[in-house]
């Protein structure tokens, strides 16, 4: 997680995609750490939006939804998506979906 924070800071990113499709679960302790430590650090770097791609079903999906519902990160706009292209188009409107070329400007 510190690598993500470093990358956010280095790139001056304001948005992040969290791809949780393979997430199998998150302990209660880790959920609290995310809320009380990671989210405040991310906000301090300038992050303001997180697009979360949810696992299709199971504990990973439930854990992601629980983390997002927990209070304490109201300075972030967090939206959930079922696919990476949907998340990407919310985070970076106008950017071509993965594997597709952008139309030339002109």
Of 57, 58, 81, nearest to 68 (Cα)? 81
Closest listed residue to residue 18, CA positions, set 93, 102, 90? 90
The rounded distance, in Å, linking the Cα atoms of 78 and 100 is 26
Q: Which of 71, 106, 91 is nearest to 19 (CA)?
A: 91
Q: Helices in the chain by DSSP H: which ranges?
A: 2-11, 28-33, 39-44, 59-69, 84-91
Residue spans of the domains in the chain: they are: 2-91
pTM for the predicted model, two decimal places: 0.78
Which spans in 12-58 are helix H?
A: 28-33, 39-44
Tens digits of residue pLDDT in 62-76: 888 888 887 566 788
Residue-wise pLDDT for 15-70, tens only, equals 999 999 998 888 889 888 888 899 899 999 999 999 999 998 888 888 888 888 87
Q: Is the pLDDT of residue 80 over 80?
A: yes
Q: Shortest CA distance to 26 belongs to which of 55, 54, 63, 53?
A: 63
């Amino acid at each position: 997680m510190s690598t993500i924070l470093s990358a956010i800071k280095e790139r001056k990113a304001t948005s992040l995609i969290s791809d949780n499709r393979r997430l199998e679960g998150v302990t209660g302790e880790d959920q609290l750490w995310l809320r009380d430590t990671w989210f405040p650090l991310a906000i301090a770097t300038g992050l303001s939006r997180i697009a979360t791609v949810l696992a299709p079903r199971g504990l990973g999906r439930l854990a992601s939804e629980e983390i997002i519902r927990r209070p304490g990160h109201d300075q972030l706009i967090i939206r959930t998506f079922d696919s990476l292209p949907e998340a990407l188009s919310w985070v970076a409107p106008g950017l071509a979906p993965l594997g597709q070329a952008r139309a030339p400007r002109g």
